[in-house]
Amino acid sequence: MMRTSFEANIRHPRDMKKIRKEYHPYLAKYYGNDQLLVDASISEAVWNAWEHGHDQRNDYPIQLNISFLNSRLLVRVKDQGSGFEWKPYQVTSDIKQWFPTVEDLERRGRGITLMLRVMDVIRYNDIGNECLLMKKYLFQE
């Protein structure tokens, strides 16, 4: 039974550099060529927390927890903000077939769209200050 977890308190998204070095080998092992997309999704969740939850301020930490479980990756990103109205961004799995236009990529919410395309599951708590990402491994041990 494989379980490995990484935790960090991040005051600015650039602070992810250190923890990324720790979890990156696992992304490479379980996601191969998709590792950069999975990492981009994790980064996007942290940037969103910093930009929207903390108004780009470094006063409070964003809690990042990355767990490599038996068959999937589980990522939790929690900020200290008042949350956001996430329901308009909850879309069906049709998004997996979506091919963006330049205008789509200019709109707010494109990071959530990226996460929805890459990850198997993206959920928010009721108030919207905690994001949960899940993705099954492409490669097993």
Task: Please give the mean pLDDT across all residues of the chain.
Answer: 87
Distances (CA, A) of 63 to 47, 53, 78, 139: 12, 12, 5, 28
80 in Cβ contact with 130 (< 8 Å): no
HSE toward the beta carbon, residue 18, CA cutoff 13 A: 9
Q: Tens of pLDDT along 92-114?
A: 555 555 555 656 555 566 788 88
H helices, E strands: number in the chain = 4, 5
Architecture label for domain 4-136? 2-Layer Sandwich (3.30)
CB 138 within 8 A of CB 32: yes
Q: How far apart are CA 18 and CA 22, in angstroms?
A: 7
- Could you report the per-residue pLDDT of 70-89, keeping only the tens digit for each? 999 999 999 999 998 887 77
The CA distance from 27 to 137, in Å, is: 9
Neighbouring CB atoms inside 10 A of 53's CB total 23
Neighbours of 104 (CB within 10 A): 12
How confident is the model over 14-61, as pLDDT tens digits?
A: 999 999 999 999 999 999 999 999 999 999 999 999 999 999 999 999
pTM for this model (two decimals): 0.87
